[in-house]
Chains A and B, each alone.
Chain A
Amino acid sequence: MIISNQKKKDELLAALDGAERLFLVGCGACATACKSGGEEEVFQMQEWIESVDREVTGSVVIDEACHIMRAGRDLRHHRQAVEDADALLVLACGAGIQSISASSDKRVVGGLDSLFLGNIKRFGQFEEKCSLCGDCILNETAGICPVTNCAKGLLNGPCGGMEESKCEVDREIDCAWHLIYERLKKQKRPGVFARTVAPKNWDKRRKPGRFNIKK
């Protein structure tokens, strides 16, 4: 899921400059799990907005804010409250925010920063495992992604900064290449170590990404 975090209140206040009446939008999917934009957070945001002398015209928590058509439909169900607002304050990831901006000509204020595509370790703890690079090497790396888990995304083994199997960038984090090496050794196969990995094809991750299942 997309891991997101609420912006600091002073930053948010600056972004709300000139917007006195706000319609709030939350997301029932990732932002709910991250406790950044679910029902509870939308409610707390409403209280905060009123505490800084602004008005809330209404709110909605969209099932999945990244679903552009659904977001548009939910906004239409709240047409009057949306119409009455100076801006829509969206507590969803960057994709969700843009579903809203694609569905309304109103000013849109994003209340969250989107951090990464994350796995849930346990409640409230998330870890990045996949960078969505479009060119997956996991089958050769014992199911551990070096593009993401190596701070430098190296493809041919650890850098010189590996110390006691830890990463040079953060000594709390295991060196991804050490993990790959240990797991492949356990599986008694050479995996990625059998070859020199060629430079990555970043053209597979050309922006903006587009994918059509029918093609």
Chain B
Amino acid sequence: MLMSRLQEELAAGRFTVTAEVAPPKGIDLQNVLDVAAAFSGVTAVNVTDNQGANMRMCPLVVAGKLVDAGIEPILQLTCRDRNRMALQSDILGAAALGIENLLLLSGDHARFGDHPEARSVFDLDSVQLLQAVNDLQQGVDMVGRKLDGVPIFFPGAAVSPESEPFELMFQKFRKKIDSGARFFQTQAVFDGGRFEQFMAEAREVGTPVLAGILLLKSARMARFLNDNIPGVRVPEKHIDRLEKAGNPLDEGVAIARELVGVARSCCQGVHLMTLGHEDRIPEILDN
């Protein structure tokens, strides 16, 4: 069976790095393609889906363009903007464009984004979307109707390893694996100790986990994340370091590098969110 490079890397047990790009707000693809091409040491690149509930170009097209450019994409799909029919049809389209990796998410609520008056769909949740992908890979759609040609994907999902109560978060993690998740990318990790605790349990399950590493640029940005981004919690000790640093971005790189160090010791890779500072990736990954 053909495998995506991401799947190969993880199967081979190599420490795997992914990064992400956001589709343009508009129709000019040059910047997103340039950013994706400039990543170094990165196996696959996530393409976000109206991230933070802000309307942008559909990720399916951007991921298809990355395939054409020889860059392996991870297509993110959320349940917020599409019902089960639209999701399935986009997933079939993804297969036709040569997209192999999927990251299947519930999605941030529309009230966080630039279209707060939009009706959020959530016809499926992330677990049910994973099951839908499973069905398609069996050659049938969600209602059991036969497909002409069977897609093959490497489906992934998200997990918030620092979320409490642990047991409540972990049951959903298990459900996602039972529903076909073959890899995980985590919500931004900031507390190495808690992440290690999560991995101690997750390792038993065996599905590879890439720790989400978000590059903090300043104390102000950290506070903004805490106030505005669901599921992201930057601890005060990091904010303090950023505040006291002569060059906050350098300090952010140092924090990210420390967290990558934690990831190297306990999980299968990292997913880097560098938000415009892709040039710092080699430093973040530096052992």
Contacts and interface: CB of A to CB of B under 8 A. Distances in A.
Interface in A140-195: 151-165, 168-169, 177-178, 181, 193
Contact of B230 (A157, A161, A199): A161
A104 B230 CA distance: 50
A196 B171 contact: no
B122 interface: yes
Contacts, number: 90
Interface residues of B, number: 38
B106 A152 contact: yes
A169 B109 contact: yes
B171 A161 contact: no
A193 B106 contact: no
B84 interface: yes
B184 to A, nearest CB: 11
Contacts of A181: 165, 167-168
Given A199-B142, A202-B123, A162 B179 contact: no
Interface string B100-121: 0000001111011000000010
B29 interface: no
A157 B109 contact: no
A196 B131 contact: yes
Interface residues of A, number: 27
B233 interface: yes
Contacts of B165: 165, 178, 181
Contact of A160 (B80, B124, B167, B230): B230
A155 B128 contact: yes
B286 interface: no
Interface of B: 79-80, 84, 106-109, 111-112, 120, 122-128, 131-132, 142, 158-160, 163-165, 167-169, 171-172, 175, 178-179, 187, 230-231, 233
14 contacts: A152-B122, A152-B125, A154-B122, A156-B126, A156-B128, A157-B127, A159-B231, A160-B106, A162-B169, A165-B165, A168-B230, A178-B168, A193-B171, A196-B178
Closest 4 CB pairs of A and B: A161-B230, A168-B230, A157-B172, A156-B127
